[in-house]
A and B are shown apart, each in its own frame.
Chain A
Amino acid sequence: MKAVNWDELAELAELAVSRVRASGAEYGDIRILDSEVQTVHGEDRRIAKVRHNRDSGFGVRVLYRGAWGFAASSILSPEEVPRVAELAVEIAKGSAGLVNEPVCLADEPVHRDQVITPRRIDPFSVPLEDKTTLLLDVMEYVHRQPGVVRSRANLWARRDLKLFVSSEGSRLEFDLLATQGDFEATAVYDGRFASRSFSTPHLRTGYELIADANFLAEAPRIAAQAVEKVKAPPVDPGRYDLVLDPEHLSLTIHESCGHPSELDRALGYEANYAGTSFLTPDKRGTFRYGSTHVNLVADNTEPETLAATGYDDDGVTCQKWDIVREGIFVGYCTNRETASKIGEPRSRGSNRADGWGSVPIVRIANIGLEPGAATLNDLIADVKRGIYIEGHGSYSIDQRRYNFQFGGDAFWLIENGRRAHMLRDVIYYGITPEFWGSCDGVADRSHRRRYGFITCGKGQPGQSGWMTHAAAHARFRNVNVIRGQAAS
């Protein structure tokens, strides 16, 4: 990536901000981004794709008489920046004719800062040969397992250089890095097929994440479990106690807690697409979301996590706050626009766009399940008939986030306090507050792991949100389980 000259970019930014100020608009900002993404994709013992993407451009956001306008362009030039800024102003003026309740931004101090996310090894400096060799080796290891017929392996890294300048005087410089890797084995048996995968979390770290993950040591276990899974007996439908691992819980938390805690959803902004929320503002502070074991905390300050970027795309400082405290719903993810609508004096700093061409919207924060006091063995030991689930599988939830249904990547039957054998086709479903109400144990901090998402879909046009969900293993009692087959 080219060295960035922040002052040169700031001069371009000023061309936009000065136009916004001159227009009489009450607020405006510009984000200038230069992103690079490297993808190495392996499939069936070959490197199928090696790609390096450079994506640069800028977006100008204007608030005029309480109405938004936004314009963006990938042409970053002294001629294009003022043209786009004026277009954003014109669009905002047009919007103002269709606004009943003018936007009022919550106050935020002016910030001038530079944010660099942590890294030891720059993934873009690691020789490509090292990466392709690793992926070819891991696929080779996977295919040594009889019964495995397909493999997949990926390495991914993204770096964003971003300048945020607002008409209020904020100037923020960002150098944000994220890394991830994964692989998968698919086995066939008796006309069926099943996959088992291994994935590092997406984290704001360097290539040390991949080096520490030790793919080659994990590959034989993953391949063997793919075969064991495809040969495993199907689950008998019924009610089971579930013990869920941190990777699996990251998705459960994301779908059933993260999305309903987005205030824009609760206020109807997403009614046409992602949906609304059963966690309406009148429930804040009183609604029992889960058992007293359930403490869900948003923490956008924890280093290496995806939403820990110092500031959000409103220029608001990243923060830590409670979403669910001892089972009671207490807080939302907000931005400067929505915070004031529920009487909060300051945004929680959860307004993010997925690129220069997208307008920032409220996104789920790094919401994690606070650790408890148990061990994984404790949780399993107290289960007579249950299922232990690892990883992500099928997932679906209604648009108000009540009725969910999840699968997983791997399942083990628990009988009389011990893991017996693998199962296949396990699907569990429930209603969000009833499910979290059945949580009667969370493992301690030594079991805590962080997993994240970079493909959280929301907004129109669609955007991908990034956030991390940390958790330790947790137990849920008496959950409905069905068999994932058409005839069931």
Chain B
Amino acid sequence: MTEGSAAAPKLTDRDEFRFLADLVFKRSSGDQTFVALHDQHGGTVRFANNQVIQNVDTRRISFSVTVAFGRRHGTADTTDLTAGSVQDALTRAERLARVAPEDPEYLPPVEPQSYPIAPTSRPETAAAGPSGRLAYARQAIELCRTERLTAAGIVSSAAAAVGVAASNGLFAHEERTEARFSLTAQAGEATGWASAAHRSIDRLAVGERTRFAIDKAKRSIEAKEMPAGRYTVILEAPAVAGLLTWFIWMLDAKAFYKGTSPFSGKLGQQIIDPRLSLKNRPDHPDLLGYGFTSEGLPVKESTWIEAGVLRQLSYDRFTAKERGIDLIATLESPLFSGDESAKADVGDLIRSTARGVLVTTFWYIRPVNPTDLTLTGMTRDGTFLVEDGRITTAVRNFRFHDSPLRVFTEIDAFTVPQEAVTAETGKLLVPAMKIRDFNFSSVTRF
């Protein structure tokens, strides 16, 4: 396949964004004006039944203008960077801001900041294109076909130019890349799954992860039904990531102070196993950190849970100001890790288990009770009975009904952090865990 028309288009660079932003600021009648850019080019090859079913490539430019008159503010967006359309966006934002009621929580854009130079972009991902994605898809399909299995999955890659700027001099711009691979290997009704995300498309480990999914699928044949109930479980990293993600989403500071958070009253208290800590690590090469937030705040390393104690909340700027918080911590690059008692891998957890259930991942996790953070969801793509330190059989999928606030206090053992990404989470580094008395509330038919 040639790359003629598929050559990566040039994204909006730093100087072009600055020119555009200055143009808007010059023409704006607002007291403050803020602009944001997201210019992305990328694509996905999607396959199922061992063949390509979709193959897409998209260039999307998004540009937003927020204008404020006093505490009145309005935002308008456009996908067209021609002068007329940018002017139209500014005019629409001004019109909204003039008639919007005063917002008592409005704050002017953050003052100019200095940002760390984050390694957010990899040239091999930006250059991958349809043929690069197709090559990795072919590798996964061929490996599955050789094993007489059926492959379904994706390979995607994207490069984006992201920027924010304000009329007070705030300015940030960086390029980010991201690639993803996900595979479900099917052996009839049995399935195995693996997934990866990385700044570099060449770090997706497609071959290794395909073989992992194939092994899971083969082991999943002839799943036996076991009764619902409380089990010792070994949650692989993606399953832990599914629980931790909802935990992270509920750390909102405003809800905390209004009494509508599961963490209300628990700041400074031990909320999970004291061997565990949760940090933001934007500099970690295997996470998808970036240099600044959508408001232009610099992203920094921060500690959220320290030895099981809740140390940090997720602040909006108004609540932070109200509470005297100077530095707003973010958690887009979560590293959930344990102490020196961490095991090397899942195999260690299996070998130390007399009887339990090994869970590859969860699916369709949703909140049940916002007060105690009870969640529900299904096991998926590889659920196994472990007996006397080894996997003895595949079992039918369970529905769980439990809270990470309880689960993360019932940890028997855990591994060192591993890469985890699912269809419902971003990328995290989390340990696999062995949990006592995990609640499986019902069983499904497969």
Q: Is the CB of A488 within 8 A of B401?
A: yes
Is A146 an interface residue when CB atoms closer than 8 A count as contact?
no
Complex interface: chain B residues within 8 A of A50 (CB): 73-75, 96-97, 100
* Cβ distance A230 to chain B, nearest Cβ, rounded Å: 9
Q: How many residues of A contact B (CB 8 A)?
A: 90
B77 touches A52 (CB 8 A): yes
Q: What is the interface residue range for chain B against chain A?
A: 35 or more
Interface pairs (24), CB distance under 8 Å:
A44-B258, A46-B101, A50-B96, A52-B96, A53-B77, A54-B85, A68-B53, A73-B59, A75-B80, A90-B5, A91-B6, A132-B100, A136-B101, A150-B258, A268-B150, A269-B152, A396-B378, A397-B378, A403-B378, A405-B441, A405-B442, A484-B374, A485-B369, A486-B439
Task: Tell me which of A53, A186, A482 has the highest count of chain B C-beta atoms within 10 A of its own C-beta.
Answer: A53
Q: Which residues of A are found within 8 Å of B51, using beta-carbon distances?
A: 98-101
Additional pairs, 10, CB under 8 Å, beyond known A46-B101, A487-B406: A50-B97, A51-B96, A54-B85, A68-B55, A84-B5, A90-B1, A90-B4, A396-B364, A396-B399, A431-B445
Q: Mask for B70-88, Cβ within 8 A of A = 1, else 0?
A: 0001111111100001001
| Chain B positions 40-54 with a Cβ under 8 Å from a chain A Cβ | 43-54
Asked whether, in the complex, the Cβ of A86 is within 8 Å of the Cβ of B54, the reply is no
Contact indicator B100/A48 (Cβ below 8 Å): no
Q: Which of B24-32, B180-188, B203-211 contacts A (4 or more CB under 8 A)?
A: B180-188
CB neighbours (8 Å) of B105 from chain A are 46, 48
* Docked pose: A276 CA to B88 CA in angstroms: 45
Report B-chain residues with C-beta under 8 Å of the C-beta of A361: 54
Select from chain A the residue with minimum beta-carbon distance to B76: A52
What residue of chain A has the Cβ atom nearest to residue B255's Cβ? A150
Which of chain B's residues have a CB closer than 8 A to the CB of A75? 59, 61, 80
Contact with B along A20-62 (1 / 0, CB 8 A): 0000000000000000000000001011111111111101000
A68-94, CB < 8 A from B: 68-76, 83-84, 86-88, 90-94
Asked whether B52 lies within 8 Å of A99 as measured between CB atoms, the reply is: yes
B141 within 8 A of A: yes
Cα of A67 to Cα of B137 in the assembled complex, Å: 15
- The reply to whether B376 and A54 form a contact with Cβ atoms under 8 Å apart is no
Bound complex: CA of A358 vs CA of B367, how far in Å?
29
* Contact of A101 with B52 in the complex, beta carbons under 8 Å: no
Contact, CB under 8 Å: A74 / B80? yes
CB <8 Å contact, B74 and A51? yes
Interface residues in A463-488 by Cβ distance below 8 A to B read 480, 482, 484-488
Q: Which residue from B76, B141, B184, B363 sits with its C-beta under 8 Å from A98?
A: B141
Cα separation A429 to B99 with both chains bound (whole Å): 48
Is B397 part of the contact surface with A, judged by Cβ < 8 Å?
Answer: yes
* Complex interface bits, B229-265 against A, C-beta within 8 A gives 1, otherwise 0: 0000000000000000000000000000011100000
Q: Assuming the A-B contacts A50-B75, A460-B154, are A357 and B80 also in contact, with contact meaning beta carbons closer than 8 angstroms in the complex?
A: no
Given A68-B54, A74-B60, A47:B100 Cβ within 8 A: yes
Residue in contact with B370 in the complex, picked from A70, A191, A193, CB distance below 8 Å: A193
Which 6 A-B residue pairings sit nearest by Cβ, starting from the closest? A403-B444, A486-B403, A271-B152, A94-B1, A87-B5, A74-B79
A164 in contact (CB, < 8 A): no
The residue on A at minimum CB distance from B7 is A87
Q: A51-B75, A90-B1, A359-B54 are in contact. Are A188 and B260 (CB under 8 A)?
A: yes
Give the Cβ gap from B90 to chain A, nearest Cβ, in Å: 12
Q: Is A287 an interface residue (CB 8 A)?
A: no
